[in-house]
Protein backbone atom coordinates (compact mmCIF):
# COMPACT_ATOMS: atom_id res chain seq x y z
CA UNK A 1 0.00 0.00 0.00
CA UNK A 2 1.81 3.16 1.14
CA UNK A 3 0.47 6.44 2.52
CA UNK A 4 2.09 9.85 2.33
CA UNK A 5 3.59 11.02 5.61
CA UNK A 6 1.40 14.13 5.66
CA UNK A 7 -1.87 12.15 5.67
CA UNK A 8 -3.87 13.21 8.73
CA UNK A 9 -5.32 10.47 10.91
CA UNK A 10 -7.74 10.92 13.76
CA UNK A 11 -6.55 10.10 17.26
CA UNK A 12 -8.79 8.53 19.88
CA UNK A 13 -9.22 11.92 21.58
CA UNK A 14 -10.39 13.55 18.33
CA UNK A 15 -7.13 15.38 17.61
CA UNK A 16 -5.32 15.00 14.28
CA UNK A 17 -1.88 13.45 13.81
CA UNK A 18 0.22 13.12 10.67
CA UNK A 19 1.22 9.59 9.73
CA UNK A 20 4.95 10.39 9.90
CA UNK A 21 4.54 11.35 13.58
CA UNK A 22 3.00 8.03 14.62
CA UNK A 23 4.76 5.59 16.91
CA UNK A 24 3.94 2.43 18.84
CA UNK A 25 1.36 2.95 21.55
CA UNK A 26 -0.55 5.82 19.93
CA UNK A 27 -4.31 5.31 20.04
CA UNK A 28 -6.25 6.14 16.88
CA UNK A 29 -9.97 6.22 16.16
CA UNK A 30 -11.52 3.41 14.11
CA UNK A 31 -14.54 3.39 11.78
CA UNK A 32 -16.92 3.04 14.74
CA UNK A 33 -15.32 5.77 16.84
CA UNK A 34 -13.55 3.27 19.11
CA UNK A 35 -9.87 3.32 20.07
CA UNK A 36 -7.27 1.17 18.29
CA UNK A 37 -3.61 0.94 19.29
CA UNK A 38 -0.70 1.24 16.86
CA UNK A 39 1.66 -1.73 17.17
CA UNK A 40 4.14 -0.90 14.42
CA UNK A 41 4.88 1.85 11.88
CA UNK A 42 6.40 0.59 8.62
CA UNK A 43 8.39 3.11 6.58
CA UNK A 44 9.32 2.33 2.98
CA UNK A 45 12.17 4.44 1.61
CA UNK A 46 13.06 5.20 -2.00
CA UNK A 47 16.34 6.58 -3.29
CA UNK A 48 14.49 9.11 -5.44
CA UNK A 49 10.94 10.17 -6.24
CA UNK A 50 9.54 7.88 -8.92
CA UNK A 51 7.59 9.16 -11.89
CA UNK A 52 6.15 5.88 -13.14
CA UNK A 53 2.42 5.70 -13.87
CA UNK A 54 1.68 3.30 -11.01
CA UNK A 55 4.08 4.91 -8.54
CA UNK A 56 2.64 8.30 -7.69
CA UNK A 57 0.82 10.06 -4.90
CA UNK A 58 -2.80 11.16 -5.25
CA UNK A 59 -5.13 12.81 -2.76
CA UNK A 60 -8.74 12.06 -1.87
CA UNK A 61 -10.88 14.85 -3.29
CA UNK A 62 -14.10 15.64 -1.45
CA UNK A 63 -15.75 17.49 -4.34
CA UNK A 64 -15.03 14.80 -6.92
CA UNK A 65 -16.34 12.04 -4.69
CA UNK A 66 -19.57 13.92 -3.98
CA UNK A 67 -20.10 14.61 -7.70
CA UNK A 68 -19.67 10.98 -8.77
CA UNK A 69 -22.19 9.67 -6.25
CA UNK A 70 -20.22 6.42 -5.99
CA UNK A 71 -21.20 6.13 -2.35
CA UNK A 72 -23.64 8.23 -0.33
CA UNK A 73 -21.44 9.43 2.47
CA UNK A 74 -21.58 11.36 5.69
CA UNK A 75 -18.56 13.67 5.68
CA UNK A 76 -18.16 16.34 8.28
CA UNK A 77 -18.23 19.59 6.35
CA UNK A 78 -15.60 21.22 8.56
CA UNK A 79 -13.14 18.33 8.25
CA UNK A 80 -12.80 17.12 4.69
CA UNK A 81 -10.75 13.94 4.11
CA UNK A 82 -6.99 14.35 3.81
CA UNK A 83 -5.85 10.90 2.65
CA UNK A 84 -2.84 10.92 0.30
CA UNK A 85 -1.20 7.79 -1.04
CA UNK A 86 -0.69 5.30 -3.84
CA UNK A 87 -3.57 5.56 -6.37
CA UNK A 88 -4.51 1.90 -5.89
CA UNK A 89 -4.80 2.21 -2.11
CA UNK A 90 -8.28 1.22 -0.88
CA UNK A 91 -10.34 3.70 1.12
CA UNK A 92 -13.64 3.08 2.88
CA UNK A 93 -16.35 5.72 2.65
CA UNK A 94 -18.75 5.52 5.61
CA UNK A 95 -22.33 5.59 4.34
CA UNK A 96 -25.41 7.15 5.86
CA UNK A 97 -27.03 3.72 5.81
CA UNK A 98 -24.21 2.41 7.98
CA UNK A 99 -22.45 0.08 5.54
CA UNK A 100 -20.57 2.49 3.28
CA UNK A 101 -18.44 1.33 0.37
CA UNK A 102 -14.88 0.65 -0.74
CA UNK A 103 -13.16 2.44 -3.58
CA UNK A 104 -9.62 3.01 -4.82
CA UNK A 105 -8.05 6.33 -3.92
CA UNK A 106 -7.57 7.11 -7.62
CA UNK A 107 -11.34 6.97 -8.16
CA UNK A 108 -11.87 9.94 -5.86
CA UNK A 109 -8.79 11.94 -6.76
CA UNK A 110 -8.86 15.27 -8.57
CA UNK A 111 -5.24 14.87 -9.60
CA UNK A 112 -4.63 14.55 -13.34
CA UNK A 113 -0.87 14.91 -13.01
CA UNK A 114 1.47 12.11 -12.05
CA UNK A 115 2.86 13.52 -8.83
CA UNK A 116 6.05 11.55 -8.06
CA UNK A 117 5.86 8.99 -5.27
CA UNK A 118 7.23 10.36 -1.99
CA UNK A 119 10.69 9.18 -0.96
CA UNK A 120 9.06 7.78 2.20
CA UNK A 121 5.64 6.17 2.50
CA UNK A 122 4.01 4.68 5.58
CA UNK A 123 1.89 1.71 6.60
CA UNK A 124 0.58 0.63 9.99
CA UNK A 125 0.09 -2.55 11.96
CA UNK A 126 -2.45 -2.42 14.75
CA UNK A 127 -2.37 -4.29 18.03
CA UNK A 128 -3.35 -7.96 17.61
CA UNK A 129 -6.81 -7.44 19.08
CA UNK A 130 -7.53 -4.54 16.68
CA UNK A 131 -6.17 -5.78 13.34
CA UNK A 132 -9.47 -6.19 11.55
CA UNK A 133 -10.47 -2.61 12.26
CA UNK A 134 -10.10 0.42 9.99
CA UNK A 135 -8.33 3.66 10.87
CA UNK A 136 -10.15 6.97 10.53
CA UNK A 137 -8.56 9.63 8.37
CA UNK A 138 -9.30 13.11 9.70
CA UNK A 139 -12.53 13.94 7.88
CA UNK A 140 -14.34 10.58 8.06
CA UNK A 141 -12.71 8.43 5.39
CA UNK A 142 -11.26 5.17 6.70
CA UNK A 143 -8.23 3.18 5.56
CA UNK A 144 -7.10 -0.40 6.23
CA UNK A 145 -3.86 -1.40 7.92
CA UNK A 146 -1.52 -4.31 7.21
CA UNK A 147 -2.82 -7.79 8.01
CA UNK A 148 -6.47 -6.64 8.09
CA UNK A 149 -7.86 -9.97 6.80
CA UNK A 150 -10.78 -8.31 4.99
CA UNK A 151 -12.34 -9.99 1.94
CA UNK A 152 -14.15 -7.13 0.22
CA UNK A 153 -13.26 -6.91 -3.48
CA UNK A 154 -11.34 -3.61 -3.37
CA UNK A 155 -9.48 -4.07 -0.10
CA UNK A 156 -8.53 -7.76 -0.20
CA UNK A 157 -4.87 -8.56 -0.92
CA UNK A 158 -3.17 -11.99 -0.78
CA UNK A 159 -0.18 -10.56 1.08
CA UNK A 160 -0.81 -7.11 2.58
CA UNK A 161 -4.22 -8.25 3.82
CA UNK A 162 -3.02 -11.43 5.53
CA UNK A 163 -0.97 -12.66 8.47
CA UNK A 164 1.93 -13.33 6.07
CA UNK A 165 3.02 -9.68 5.92
CA UNK A 166 3.03 -9.44 9.72
CA UNK A 167 5.06 -12.65 10.03
CA UNK A 168 7.68 -11.17 7.69
CA UNK A 169 7.77 -7.78 9.41
CA UNK A 170 8.09 -9.29 12.89
CA UNK A 171 11.49 -10.64 11.78
CA UNK A 172 12.75 -7.22 10.73
CA UNK A 173 15.02 -5.01 12.86
CA UNK A 174 13.01 -2.51 14.85
CA UNK A 175 9.73 -4.40 15.12
CA UNK A 176 10.33 -5.92 18.53
CA UNK A 177 12.46 -3.05 19.83
CA UNK A 178 10.37 0.07 19.26
CA UNK A 179 7.69 -0.81 16.72
CA UNK A 180 9.28 1.01 13.78
CA UNK A 181 10.49 -0.90 10.72
CA UNK A 182 12.34 0.88 7.91
CA UNK A 183 12.46 -0.95 4.57
CA UNK A 184 14.09 -0.21 1.24
CA UNK A 185 11.78 -0.45 -1.74
CA UNK A 186 13.90 -3.19 -3.30
CA UNK A 187 13.22 -5.48 -0.32
CA UNK A 188 9.69 -6.10 -1.59
CA UNK A 189 9.32 -9.32 -3.59
CA UNK A 190 6.71 -9.65 -6.35
CA UNK A 191 5.05 -12.60 -8.04
CA UNK A 192 6.47 -13.64 -11.40
CA UNK A 193 3.07 -13.83 -13.10
CA UNK A 194 1.10 -11.15 -14.94
CA UNK A 195 -0.23 -9.61 -11.71
CA UNK A 196 3.27 -8.69 -10.42
CA UNK A 197 1.85 -8.05 -6.95
CA UNK A 198 3.89 -7.84 -3.76
CA UNK A 199 4.08 -11.27 -2.13
CA UNK A 200 6.91 -11.02 0.40
CA UNK A 201 9.60 -8.87 1.98
CA UNK A 202 13.23 -9.76 1.45
CA UNK A 203 15.39 -10.21 4.53
CA UNK A 204 18.95 -11.46 4.02
CA UNK A 205 18.66 -13.62 7.14
CA UNK A 206 15.15 -14.99 6.55
CA UNK A 207 13.38 -16.95 3.84
CA UNK A 208 10.55 -15.29 1.94
CA UNK A 209 6.92 -15.69 2.90
CA UNK A 210 5.12 -18.70 1.43
CA UNK A 211 2.97 -16.17 -0.44
CA UNK A 212 5.83 -15.80 -2.93
CA UNK A 213 5.42 -19.40 -4.03
CA UNK A 214 2.57 -18.16 -6.22
CA UNK A 215 3.55 -18.62 -9.87
Between the CA of residue 64 and those of 60, 116, 164, what are the distances in Å?
9, 21, 35
Look at 107 and 16; give whichever has higher pLDDT: 16
Task: Give the ranges where the chain is alpha helix by DSSP (H).
Answer: 62-68, 163-170, 175-178
Distance CA 209, CA 161 (A): 13
* Distance (Å) of CA 177 to CA 27, 40, 172: 19, 10, 10
Q: Any idea where the domains of the chain sit in the sequence?
A: 3-187
177 or 50: whose pLDDT is higher? 177
Task: Please give the pLDDT value at position 87.
Answer: 82
With b for 16 or more beta-carbon neighbours within 10 A and e for fewer, the 41-66 pattern comes to: bbbbebeeebeeeebbbbbbbbeebe
* Average pLDDT score, the chain: 80
pLDDT tens-digit readout, 60-110: 665 555 555 556 555 554 445 578 888 889 988 876 656 778 888 877 665
3-state helix, strand and coil shares in percent for the chain, rounded to the nearest 5: 15, 30, 50
Whether residue 2 contacts residue 44, with contact meaning beta carbons closer than 8 Å, is answered with: yes
pTM of the shown model: 0.83
Q: State phi, psi for 156 to the nearest 5 degrees.
A: -65, 145
pLDDT of residue 80: 57
Helix ranges, 1-71 (H)? 62-68
Provide the CATH topology of domain 3-187: Endonuclease - Pi-scei; Chain A, domain 1 (2.170.16)
143-166 mean pLDDT: 94
Amino acid sequence: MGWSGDTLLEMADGEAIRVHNLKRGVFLRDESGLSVRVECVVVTTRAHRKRLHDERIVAFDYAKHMSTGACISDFRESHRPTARGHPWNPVHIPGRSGSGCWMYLREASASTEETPMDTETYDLILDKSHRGRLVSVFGNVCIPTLGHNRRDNVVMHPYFGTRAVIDDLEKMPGYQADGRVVLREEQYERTQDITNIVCGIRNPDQSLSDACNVQ
